[in-house]
Amino acid sequence: MSVFVGLDCGGSSSRVLAVDETGAIVFQGQSGAANLVSTPEARLKRNLMNATRGCEQADFVCGCFAGLLGDETRMQAEGILKQMFPGSFVRAEPDYTAAFYSSPPLTDVCVIAGTGSLVCSRGENGIVKSGGRGYILGDYGSGFHYGRDVLIHYLDNPRSSSAALRSAVVEVFGTEQEAKIVSSLYKSGTAPQVLGRLARVLGTEAAAGESYALASLDRNTRALTSVVTEHVRRYLKPSNTLSISLAGGMWKGGPIFKARFQEMLDEQLPGKNITVTRISKPPLYGALELAKELGLGN
């Protein structure tokens, strides 16, 4: 009986799921980050080995990787998968492909907002994407940008910051002192992930009417919806309807993120009947569907 393995390899963690032909789960695993660009290769391999330790021999494997940017990183990823699963058929795809494959069947566009962000849909020759580019060049509406806004507000206003904000800062950095916070952030080597841990508190602050949080919400949401609008105009056929699925941790930060996103999208795409729903299955299941798709061709 064939065994199918899906891997969701992100900038914060890696998850593995294996099933047999009946759909029965035969293995689950989890470990640390596996971003092909930002995670050192030795650490990436170690994390994936830890995540797959004890997994049955697989027949078809698909790893969906953050940082898979082209043919060179695809070959790198496939080489790693072949080392871990010798004798298996393997494929490597960008992590956003897994999110799209885990979306409802009639989804037009998937909008991913976690530590980073991007927009994707099905094109003539596979999945096409807009946005992304990392926290320096893009990732609008991502946990990094929200978390950065939260921390800047705290550092500028430590005494007047809310109890919820001070508590979140202490939880992430273990201190309220600016010098120690700044030093810890720059020494971490993982600033996007660290700041992303502060993002959810912005939803709480915005719901409470904090002006800095509302301003951040509007600025970041407008930037993200602009990416969506341009993507729709560039890649989708004209239609009066638009079905959007939401993936990533930012959409779990409170209903205000989704509500503001839909409001701004309705403003930027007037006349369209737009439905916005969060995906019900984790992207890991999309990676598994890609492994099954690989099985159909072999």
pLDDT in tens, 211-244: 999 999 999 999 999 999 999 999 999 999 999 9
Comparing CA positions, the residue from 118, 121, 160 lying closest to residue 248 is: 118
Confidence category of residue 193, pLDDT binned at 50, 70, 90: confident
Which pLDDT belongs to residue 126?
86
**pLDDT, averaged across the chain:** 93
Which pLDDT belongs to residue 221?
97
Q: How far is CA 291 from CA 153, 234, 285, in A?
A: 44, 29, 10
Angle between helices 163-173 and 199-207 (to 10 degrees): 180
Q: How far is CA 77 from CA 80, 207, 265, in A?
A: 5, 41, 35
Mean pLDDT of 169-186: 95
Residue 254 near residue 199 (C-beta atoms within 8 A):
no
Tell me what percent of the residues of the chain surpass a pLDDT of 90: 79
- The rounded distance, in Å, linking the Cα atoms of 287 and 224 is 25
Which pLDDT belongs to residue 123?
87
Tell me what percent of the residues of the chain surpass a pLDDT of 70: 99
Mean pLDDT of 37-51: 92
More confident call, 296 vs 52: 52
Confidence category of residue 298, pLDDT binned at 50, 70, 90: low
3-state secondary structure of 5: strand
Cβ neighbors of 196 (< 8 A, separation 6 or more) are 12, 114, 115, 142, 143, 144, 146, 147, 249
| 225, containing H or E segment | helix 211-235
Q: What are the beta bridge partners of residue 93?
A: 64
